[in-house]
Amino acid sequence: MLISYEPLWKTMEEKGVTTYTLIEKYNINPRTISHLKHDKSVTAYTLEKLCRILDCPIEAVIKILPEE
68 pLDDT higher than 80: no
Residue 17 pLDDT class (50, 70, 90 cuts): very high
State how far the Cα of 15 lies from the Cα of 53, in Å rounded to an integer.
10
- How high is the pLDDT of residue 66? 87
- How high is the pLDDT of residue 35? 97
SS3 38: coil
SS3 39: coil
pTM, to two decimals: 0.90
State how far the Cα of 51 lies from the Cα of 31, in Å rounded to an integer.
18
- How high is the pLDDT of residue 25? 97
List the beta strands (DSSP E) in the chain: 2-4, 63-65
- What architecture is the 2-65 domain classified under in CATH? Orthogonal Bundle (1.10)
* CA pseudo-torsion sign 45, 8, 53, 19: positive
Summarize pLDDT for 23-65 with one digit per residue, the tens. Answer: 999 999 999 999 999 999 999 999 999 999 999 999 999 999 8
